[in-house]
Structure 1
Amino acid sequence: MVQPLLFRVCPYYTEEKEKGASTMINEKVAVLLNQQINAEFYSAYLYLDFYNFYVEQGLDGFANWYQVQAQEERDHAMLMMQYMQNNDLKVTLEAIEKPNLKLSENMDPLREGLKHEKYVTELIHNIYDAAYSAKDFRTMQFLDWFVKEQGEEETNANDLIKKMELFGSDPKSLYMLDNELAARTYAAPSLVL
Protein backbone atom coordinates (compact mmCIF):
# COMPACT_ATOMS: atom_id res chain seq x y z
CA MET A 1 0.00 0.00 0.00
CA VAL A 2 1.31 3.43 -0.96
CA GLN A 3 1.34 5.97 1.88
CA PRO A 4 -0.45 9.25 1.24
CA LEU A 5 1.78 12.14 0.27
CA LEU A 6 1.34 13.76 3.68
CA PHE A 7 2.92 10.74 5.41
CA ARG A 8 5.93 10.92 3.09
CA VAL A 9 6.37 14.70 3.28
CA CYS A 10 5.68 15.42 6.95
CA PRO A 11 7.52 13.19 9.45
CA TYR A 12 5.29 14.45 12.32
CA TYR A 13 2.08 13.28 10.68
CA THR A 14 1.11 9.80 11.85
CA GLU A 15 -1.80 7.47 11.24
CA GLU A 16 -2.89 8.04 14.86
CA LYS A 17 -3.13 11.76 14.23
CA GLU A 18 -5.13 11.12 11.08
CA LYS A 19 -7.59 8.90 12.98
CA GLY A 20 -8.14 11.59 15.62
CA ALA A 21 -8.39 14.39 13.08
CA SER A 22 -12.13 14.00 12.46
CA THR A 23 -13.09 15.51 15.83
CA MET A 24 -11.18 18.74 16.13
CA ILE A 25 -13.51 20.46 18.58
CA ASN A 26 -12.44 20.08 22.20
CA GLU A 27 -15.00 18.32 24.43
CA LYS A 28 -15.21 21.20 26.93
CA VAL A 29 -15.69 23.65 24.05
CA ALA A 30 -18.46 21.46 22.63
CA VAL A 31 -20.26 21.43 26.00
CA LEU A 32 -19.97 25.22 26.29
CA LEU A 33 -21.23 25.71 22.72
CA ASN A 34 -24.23 23.51 23.46
CA GLN A 35 -24.95 25.49 26.63
CA GLN A 36 -24.69 28.69 24.60
CA ILE A 37 -27.26 27.42 22.12
CA ASN A 38 -29.70 27.08 25.00
CA ALA A 39 -28.66 30.47 26.38
CA GLU A 40 -29.37 32.09 23.00
CA PHE A 41 -32.82 30.52 22.89
CA TYR A 42 -33.41 31.84 26.42
CA SER A 43 -32.34 35.30 25.20
CA ALA A 44 -34.96 35.10 22.46
CA TYR A 45 -37.54 34.06 25.03
CA LEU A 46 -36.54 36.92 27.34
CA TYR A 47 -36.81 39.48 24.53
CA LEU A 48 -40.23 38.15 23.60
CA ASP A 49 -41.21 38.86 27.21
CA PHE A 50 -39.97 42.43 26.75
CA TYR A 51 -41.92 42.59 23.47
CA ASN A 52 -45.09 41.58 25.33
CA PHE A 53 -44.47 44.21 28.01
CA TYR A 54 -44.19 47.00 25.45
CA VAL A 55 -47.24 45.81 23.52
CA GLU A 56 -49.19 46.12 26.78
CA GLN A 57 -47.78 49.64 27.27
CA GLY A 58 -48.88 50.67 23.77
CA LEU A 59 -45.27 51.24 22.68
CA ASP A 60 -45.30 49.32 19.43
CA GLY A 61 -41.90 50.63 18.31
CA PHE A 62 -40.20 49.35 21.47
CA ALA A 63 -42.10 46.09 21.02
CA ASN A 64 -40.83 45.87 17.45
CA TRP A 65 -37.25 46.50 18.59
CA TYR A 66 -37.41 43.53 20.98
CA GLN A 67 -39.21 41.33 18.50
CA VAL A 68 -36.29 41.87 16.12
CA GLN A 69 -33.90 41.19 19.02
CA ALA A 70 -35.67 37.89 19.67
CA GLN A 71 -35.26 36.91 16.00
CA GLU A 72 -31.56 37.73 16.16
CA GLU A 73 -31.03 35.62 19.28
CA ARG A 74 -32.89 32.70 17.74
CA ASP A 75 -30.66 32.90 14.68
CA HIS A 76 -27.55 33.03 16.89
CA ALA A 77 -28.67 29.72 18.42
CA MET A 78 -29.33 28.27 14.98
CA LEU A 79 -25.87 29.31 13.75
CA MET A 80 -24.27 27.59 16.72
CA MET A 81 -26.37 24.49 16.15
CA GLN A 82 -25.31 24.41 12.51
CA TYR A 83 -21.66 24.87 13.50
CA MET A 84 -21.84 21.95 15.91
CA GLN A 85 -23.65 19.77 13.38
CA ASN A 86 -21.11 20.67 10.68
CA ASN A 87 -18.45 19.38 13.07
CA ASP A 88 -20.31 16.14 13.84
CA LEU A 89 -21.16 17.19 17.38
CA LYS A 90 -24.40 16.25 19.10
CA VAL A 91 -26.71 19.13 20.00
CA THR A 92 -28.84 18.71 23.12
CA LEU A 93 -31.72 21.12 23.55
CA GLU A 94 -32.74 21.80 27.12
CA ALA A 95 -35.92 23.29 28.56
CA ILE A 96 -36.02 27.07 28.28
CA GLU A 97 -36.53 28.73 31.62
CA LYS A 98 -39.39 31.21 31.98
CA PRO A 99 -38.14 34.82 32.32
CA ASN A 100 -38.83 35.90 35.87
CA LEU A 101 -38.38 39.67 35.84
CA LYS A 102 -40.67 42.24 37.37
CA LEU A 103 -41.22 44.82 34.64
CA SER A 104 -43.19 47.85 35.76
CA GLU A 105 -41.57 50.91 34.16
CA ASN A 106 -40.73 51.52 30.51
CA MET A 107 -37.04 51.64 31.41
CA ASP A 108 -37.02 48.21 33.09
CA PRO A 109 -36.67 46.05 29.94
CA LEU A 110 -33.94 48.35 28.61
CA ARG A 111 -31.84 48.05 31.76
CA GLU A 112 -32.44 44.32 32.03
CA GLY A 113 -31.59 43.96 28.34
CA LEU A 114 -28.20 45.63 28.79
CA LYS A 115 -27.49 43.52 31.87
CA HIS A 116 -28.40 40.39 29.91
CA GLU A 117 -26.22 41.33 26.93
CA LYS A 118 -23.24 41.80 29.27
CA TYR A 119 -23.92 38.35 30.68
CA VAL A 120 -24.07 36.82 27.19
CA THR A 121 -20.80 38.57 26.31
CA GLU A 122 -19.22 36.90 29.33
CA LEU A 123 -20.53 33.50 28.17
CA ILE A 124 -19.10 34.00 24.67
CA HIS A 125 -15.76 35.07 26.13
CA ASN A 126 -15.70 31.92 28.29
CA ILE A 127 -16.19 29.73 25.21
CA TYR A 128 -13.51 31.67 23.36
CA ASP A 129 -11.12 31.26 26.29
CA ALA A 130 -11.76 27.50 26.39
CA ALA A 131 -11.22 27.27 22.62
CA TYR A 132 -8.00 29.27 22.95
CA SER A 133 -6.74 27.01 25.75
CA ALA A 134 -7.50 23.93 23.64
CA LYS A 135 -5.93 25.51 20.54
CA ASP A 136 -9.29 25.07 18.82
CA PHE A 137 -8.62 27.66 16.15
CA ARG A 138 -11.65 26.70 14.09
CA THR A 139 -14.01 27.54 16.95
CA MET A 140 -12.08 30.70 17.76
CA GLN A 141 -12.55 31.87 14.19
CA PHE A 142 -16.24 30.98 14.34
CA LEU A 143 -16.64 32.90 17.61
CA ASP A 144 -14.91 36.03 16.27
CA TRP A 145 -18.21 37.07 14.68
CA PHE A 146 -20.07 36.58 17.98
CA VAL A 147 -17.49 38.59 19.92
CA LYS A 148 -17.98 41.49 17.50
CA GLU A 149 -21.76 41.03 17.56
CA GLN A 150 -21.84 41.21 21.36
CA GLY A 151 -19.97 44.51 21.27
CA GLU A 152 -22.66 45.85 18.94
CA GLU A 153 -25.44 44.40 21.13
CA GLU A 154 -24.10 46.12 24.24
CA THR A 155 -23.65 49.42 22.39
CA ASN A 156 -27.21 49.28 21.01
CA ALA A 157 -28.66 48.47 24.43
CA ASN A 158 -26.68 51.25 26.08
CA ASP A 159 -27.67 53.77 23.38
CA LEU A 160 -31.32 52.88 23.82
CA ILE A 161 -31.06 53.53 27.56
CA LYS A 162 -29.45 56.93 26.91
CA LYS A 163 -32.20 57.89 24.46
CA MET A 164 -34.89 56.82 26.91
CA GLU A 165 -33.24 58.81 29.70
CA LEU A 166 -33.14 61.89 27.44
CA PHE A 167 -36.56 61.64 25.83
CA GLY A 168 -38.67 59.11 27.75
CA SER A 169 -40.27 61.51 30.20
CA ASP A 170 -41.63 63.82 27.47
CA PRO A 171 -44.68 62.27 25.72
CA LYS A 172 -43.92 63.86 22.33
CA SER A 173 -40.28 62.78 22.43
CA LEU A 174 -41.26 59.30 23.58
CA TYR A 175 -43.68 59.10 20.64
CA MET A 176 -40.88 60.05 18.24
CA LEU A 177 -38.47 57.54 19.80
CA ASP A 178 -41.13 54.84 19.58
CA ASN A 179 -41.61 55.64 15.87
CA GLU A 180 -37.84 55.45 15.33
CA LEU A 181 -37.75 51.98 16.89
CA ALA A 182 -40.74 50.88 14.83
CA ALA A 183 -38.65 51.33 11.68
CA ARG A 184 -36.13 48.67 12.70
CA THR A 185 -36.24 45.63 10.44
CA TYR A 186 -34.73 42.21 10.76
CA ALA A 187 -31.67 41.27 8.75
CA ALA A 188 -30.49 37.69 9.08
CA PRO A 189 -26.79 37.28 9.91
CA SER A 190 -24.50 36.43 7.03
CA LEU A 191 -21.97 34.22 8.76
CA VAL A 192 -20.19 31.64 6.63
CA LEU A 193 -19.75 28.39 8.55
Structure 2
Amino acid sequence: QEERDHAMLFYQYLQNNSEPVVFASVDKPDWTRGDNMTPLIKGLEHEKYVTSLINTIYAAAYEARDFRTMQVLDWFVKEQGEEEKNASDLITKMELFGSDAKGLYMLNSELKSRVYAAPSLVL
Protein backbone atom coordinates (compact mmCIF):
# COMPACT_ATOMS: atom_id res chain seq x y z
CA GLN A 1 0.00 0.00 0.00
CA GLU A 2 2.83 2.38 0.86
CA GLU A 3 4.52 2.06 -2.52
CA ARG A 4 1.19 2.41 -4.31
CA ASP A 5 0.47 5.60 -2.36
CA HIS A 6 3.87 6.99 -3.31
CA ALA A 7 3.21 6.24 -6.98
CA MET A 8 -0.18 7.92 -6.72
CA LEU A 9 1.46 11.06 -5.31
CA PHE A 10 3.60 11.28 -8.45
CA TYR A 11 0.57 10.49 -10.63
CA GLN A 12 -1.57 13.15 -8.96
CA TYR A 13 1.18 15.76 -9.21
CA LEU A 14 1.62 15.08 -12.92
CA GLN A 15 -2.14 15.15 -13.49
CA ASN A 16 -2.43 18.44 -11.57
CA ASN A 17 0.18 19.90 -13.93
CA SER A 18 -1.43 18.59 -17.14
CA GLU A 19 1.41 16.18 -17.80
CA PRO A 20 0.57 12.94 -19.61
CA VAL A 21 0.97 9.75 -17.60
CA VAL A 22 1.52 6.35 -19.20
CA PHE A 23 1.55 3.19 -17.14
CA ALA A 24 3.73 0.32 -18.30
CA SER A 25 4.36 -3.15 -16.96
CA VAL A 26 6.99 -3.72 -14.30
CA ASP A 27 9.53 -6.40 -15.10
CA LYS A 28 10.01 -9.28 -12.72
CA PRO A 29 13.20 -8.98 -10.63
CA ASP A 30 16.15 -10.62 -12.36
CA TRP A 31 17.64 -12.28 -9.30
CA THR A 32 16.88 -15.39 -7.29
CA ARG A 33 15.97 -15.33 -3.63
CA GLY A 34 19.07 -17.09 -2.34
CA ASP A 35 19.59 -16.99 1.43
CA ASN A 36 17.68 -14.83 3.94
CA MET A 37 20.01 -11.87 3.42
CA THR A 38 19.64 -11.67 -0.37
CA PRO A 39 16.16 -10.05 -0.41
CA LEU A 40 17.26 -7.53 2.23
CA ILE A 41 20.40 -6.58 0.32
CA LYS A 42 18.44 -6.34 -2.94
CA GLY A 43 15.84 -4.21 -1.14
CA LEU A 44 18.51 -1.76 0.02
CA GLU A 45 20.02 -1.67 -3.49
CA HIS A 46 16.58 -0.89 -4.90
CA GLU A 47 15.98 1.92 -2.39
CA LYS A 48 19.33 3.44 -3.38
CA TYR A 49 18.31 3.16 -7.04
CA VAL A 50 15.00 4.92 -6.35
CA THR A 51 16.90 7.63 -4.46
CA SER A 52 19.16 8.13 -7.48
CA LEU A 53 16.10 8.53 -9.74
CA ILE A 54 14.55 11.11 -7.43
CA ASN A 55 17.86 12.95 -7.20
CA THR A 56 18.08 13.05 -11.00
CA ILE A 57 14.59 14.53 -11.26
CA TYR A 58 15.40 17.00 -8.49
CA ALA A 59 18.57 18.13 -10.27
CA ALA A 60 16.59 18.71 -13.48
CA ALA A 61 13.95 20.67 -11.55
CA TYR A 62 16.67 22.73 -9.90
CA GLU A 63 18.29 23.50 -13.23
CA ALA A 64 14.91 24.52 -14.67
CA ARG A 65 14.12 26.57 -11.56
CA ASP A 66 10.93 24.50 -11.17
CA PHE A 67 10.36 25.28 -7.52
CA ARG A 68 6.97 23.57 -7.29
CA THR A 69 8.46 20.26 -8.41
CA MET A 70 11.39 20.73 -6.04
CA GLN A 71 8.95 21.30 -3.18
CA VAL A 72 7.11 18.05 -3.94
CA LEU A 73 10.39 16.18 -4.33
CA ASP A 74 11.61 17.46 -0.94
CA TRP A 75 9.10 15.07 0.64
CA PHE A 76 10.38 12.16 -1.45
CA VAL A 77 14.02 12.98 -0.65
CA LYS A 78 13.17 12.76 3.07
CA GLU A 79 11.12 9.60 2.54
CA GLN A 80 13.96 7.90 0.66
CA GLY A 81 16.34 8.73 3.50
CA GLU A 82 13.97 6.89 5.83
CA GLU A 83 13.56 3.98 3.42
CA GLU A 84 17.31 3.51 3.03
CA LYS A 85 17.83 3.70 6.80
CA ASN A 86 15.06 1.16 7.44
CA ALA A 87 16.51 -1.23 4.85
CA SER A 88 20.02 -0.81 6.24
CA ASP A 89 18.82 -1.29 9.83
CA LEU A 90 17.03 -4.49 8.85
CA ILE A 91 20.24 -5.86 7.32
CA THR A 92 22.12 -5.02 10.51
CA LYS A 93 19.49 -6.74 12.65
CA MET A 94 19.55 -9.84 10.44
CA GLU A 95 23.33 -9.95 10.70
CA LEU A 96 22.96 -9.89 14.50
CA PHE A 97 19.99 -12.27 14.85
CA GLY A 98 19.93 -14.22 11.59
CA SER A 99 20.93 -17.55 13.04
CA ASP A 100 19.17 -17.20 16.39
CA ALA A 101 15.55 -18.39 16.50
CA LYS A 102 14.67 -16.15 19.45
CA GLY A 103 16.22 -13.13 17.77
CA LEU A 104 14.36 -13.86 14.55
CA TYR A 105 11.11 -14.20 16.49
CA MET A 106 11.71 -10.81 18.14
CA LEU A 107 12.58 -9.23 14.79
CA ASN A 108 9.46 -10.71 13.21
CA SER A 109 7.34 -9.36 16.08
CA GLU A 110 8.90 -5.93 15.63
CA LEU A 111 8.19 -5.90 11.91
CA LYS A 112 4.61 -7.12 12.39
CA SER A 113 3.90 -4.27 14.79
CA ARG A 114 4.82 -1.57 12.28
CA VAL A 115 1.86 0.62 11.41
CA TYR A 116 1.55 2.26 8.01
CA ALA A 117 0.49 5.88 7.94
CA ALA A 118 -0.55 7.23 4.56
CA PRO A 119 1.41 10.28 3.39
CA SER A 120 -0.20 13.62 4.11
CA LEU A 121 1.54 15.49 1.30
CA VAL A 122 -0.82 18.05 -0.22
CA LEU A 123 -0.29 18.54 -3.92
Residue 14 of structure 2: aligned partner = 84
Residue 20 of structure 1: aligned partner = none
Counterpart-to-counterpart distance in 2, 1:182 and 1:160: 13
Q: Post-superposition shift, 1:180? A: 1.0
Find the structure with the greater CA-based Rg: 1
Structure 2 length as normaliser, TM-score? 0.96
Greater shift in the superposed pair: 115-124 or 183-192: 183-192
Task: Indicate the structure whose relative CO is greater, using CA pairs within 8 Å and at least 6 residues apart.
Answer: 2
Residue 79 of structure 2: aligned partner = 149
Q: Give yes or no for the alignment of 1:112 onto 2:42.
A: yes
The alignment partner of 1:185 has SS state of: coil
Structure 2 counterpart of 1:155, which letter? K
The unaligned stretches of length 5 or more in structure 2 are: none
Counterpart-to-counterpart distance in 2, 1:171 and 1:147: 36
RMSD between superposed Cα atoms in Å: 0.8
Match of 2:54 among 121, 124, 130: 124
**What is the total number of aligned residue pairs between the two structures?**
123
Percent identity between matched residues is: 68
Q: Post-superposition shift, 1:139? A: 0.3
Structure 2 counterpart of 1:177, which letter? L
Counterpart-to-counterpart distance in 1, 2:52 and 2:110: 30
Question: Deviations for 1:126-171, whole angstroms, at most 9, x for unmatched residues?
Answer: 0000001111111001100000000010000000001110111111
Counterpart-to-counterpart distance in 2, 1:159 and 1:93: 32
Structure 1 length as normaliser, TM-score? 0.62
Counterpart-to-counterpart distance in 2, 1:95 and 1:159: 30
Q: Post-superposition shift, 1:114? A: 0.5
Residue 74 of structure 1: aligned partner = 4
Q: Post-superposition shift, 1:185? A: 2.1
Structure 1 counterpart of 2:50, which letter? V
Residue 185 of structure 1: aligned partner = 115
Structure 1 counterpart of 2:52, which letter? E
Q: Give yes or no for the alignment of 1:135 onto 2:85.
A: no
